Amino acid sequence: MITAIIIVLGVIMIVAAVLAVIQKSLLSAIIAAGAISLLASIIFIILAAPDVAMTEAAIGSGLTTLVFLFTLNKIRKQDRHG
């Protein structure tokens, strides 16, 4: 049962990682990277490490995505203003 869950999560993570590398649009790639961190935090709970799961969920899929999006905003803004 747990093995089936791990295999499903693993397949989704690998697909999201390949999508994050291949996609042309930067926004989709950033969201896919955030999804990988979120699923990794579920796997950390299965591995009986709750501190690591909490930290990974807060930092990996929260603050890292936020910092990427702020950067994207700065790049696009300068692109529009020439």
Partner 1 sequence: MVKKFFVLIILVFFAVMLLPFAQDVTPFKELSQTATKYVKDGPDELGGANLVTSVIVTYRGLDTLGEVTVLFIATAGVGFFLRREDKRKEKKKRESSQILQSGSAFLFPLILMFGVYIFLHGHLSPGGGFQGGVVLASALVLLLLSRSATKINDTVLHLVESLSGASYIAIGVLGLVLVVGVGFLDTTILDLGEFGRLLSAGAIPLIYSFIGLKVGAELVGIIDNMRKDQS
Partner 2 sequence: MTIITILGFILVLIGLWGMLTQKNIIKIIIGFSIVDTGVHLIMVSIGNLKDRTAPILDKAVDKTEALTRVVDPIPSALVLTAIVIGLAVTALMLSYAIKLYENKGTLDISEFKELKW
Q: Which residues bind partner 2 (CB under 8 A)?
A: 3, 6-7, 10, 13-14, 17-18, 20-21, 26, 29-30, 33, 36-37, 40, 43-44, 47-52, 55-56, 59-60, 63-64, 67-68, 71-72, 74-75, 78
Minimum CB separation of residue 32 from partner 2 in Å reads 8
**60: partner contacted, choices partner 1, partner 2, none (Cβ within 5-8 A by kind):** partner 2
For position 51 contacting partner 1 by CB under 8 A, the verdict is: yes
For residue 36, give every residue at least 6 positions away whose Cβ sits within 8 Å of its Cβ, in sequence order, or none. Answer: 13, 16, 17, 20
Residue 49 CB-density burial (10 A; 0-12 exposed, 13-18 middle, 19+ buried): middle
- The alpha carbons of the chain give a radius of gyration, in whole angstroms, of 15
User: Crossing angle, helix 64-81 and helix 26-46, to 10 degrees?
Assistant: 180
Minimum CB separation of residue 36 from partner 2 in Å reads 6
